[in-house]
Amino acid sequence: MRYYITFLSTIFFTSICFGQQIEFTNMASVKPASTMKKMQQTEVLNLTRQKLGKHPSLQSFINNHSEDVYKVGDIVVLLNTIPRLRSYKLDAQKILLRSTGPASIETVDGKRVLIGLDTTKTDVVVYHFYCVNSSNTTQVGGLVTADIKDKEKAKAVIYDIVKGIKFKVQ
List, for the chain, all residue ranges whose pLDDT scores fall below the cut of 50.
1-18
Mean pLDDT estimate for the chain: 83
Residues facing residue 105 across a β-bridge: 114
The residues with which 28 forms a beta bridge, in sequence order, are 24, 167
d(CA 103, CA 40): 31
Q: Is 146 exposed, middle or buried (0-12, 13-18, 19+ CB in 10 A)?
A: buried
pTM equals 0.81
pLDDT for the residue numbered 20: 66
Q: Which residues of 29-46 are buried (b: 16+ CB within 10 A; e: fewer)?
A: bbbbeeebeebeeeebee
Amino acid (one-letter) located at 141: G
Distance CA 84, CA 89 (A): 9
